[in-house]
Amino acid sequence: MLRHLGELAGSGPYTAQAAFAVVVGYRHDSIFGESDTSRAIQSMMLTAWEAGVGSNFVGFHGLDAVKPLLAIPDDVDVIGIIPFGYPAKPVGTGKKRRKPIGEVVHRGRFGDPWE
Ligand SMILES: Cc1cc2nc3c(=O)[nH]c(=O)nc-3n(C[C@H](O)[C@H](O)[C@H](O)COP(=O)(O)O)c2cc1C
């Protein structure tokens, strides 16, 4: 099944090598489905990472091909596949290249400087 998922997930072929994967979807008519499943995915990833288990978000829709494989009903939208597994090599915890906080956070009105 993981091998099949890896073949179908063009942007995540490494799914085939995962220890396990969670395919996440929500009922198409759910107003908060996309938000709720995104939050659930983030929680799963953070919880796994706490135990040293790595993961990634594969997809963000465009995964209809996995539905027949898993007997997922038509009215369920698949938002992503989350492969999990212990990292093959140690993962660094260096600094990410992020925008400075002042570019994305405003104190008071939008555009007001953060500091
Ligand atoms: C909604 C969403 C979809 C993503 N889809 C893919 C994907 O299909 N394949 C992939 O290798 N990474 C995917 N990623 C992972 C991102 O490319 C990136 O590695 C990840 O968000 C970590 O970013 P950060 O550590 O810079 O915040 C996705 C991430 C998000 C949030």
Q: What is the pTM of this model?
A: 0.91
d(CA 71, CA 68): 5
How much distance in Å is there from the Cα of 72 to the middle of ligand 1?
24
How much distance in Å is there from the Cα of 56 to the middle of ligand 1?
6
- Ligand 1 mutation target, pool 57, 66, 79, 84, most atoms within 8 A of CB: 57
- Does position 7 have pLDDT exceeding 80, yes or no? yes
- Does position 92 have pLDDT exceeding 90, yes or no? no
Is the CB–ligand 1 distance for residue 25 below 6 Å?
A: no
Rounded mean pLDDT of the chain? 95
- What ranges do the domains of the chain cover? 2-104
Q: What is the dihedral of CA 62, 23, 71, 9, to 10 degrees?
A: 40
Domain 2-104 sits in CATH at: 3.40.109.10
Mean pLDDT (whole number) for 4-25: 97
pLDDT at 96: 86
How much distance in Å is there from the Cα of 86 to the middle of ligand 1?
18
d(CA 43, CA 21): 15
- Does position 28 have pLDDT exceeding 90, yes or no? yes
Phi and psi at 96, nearest 5°, equal: -85, 155
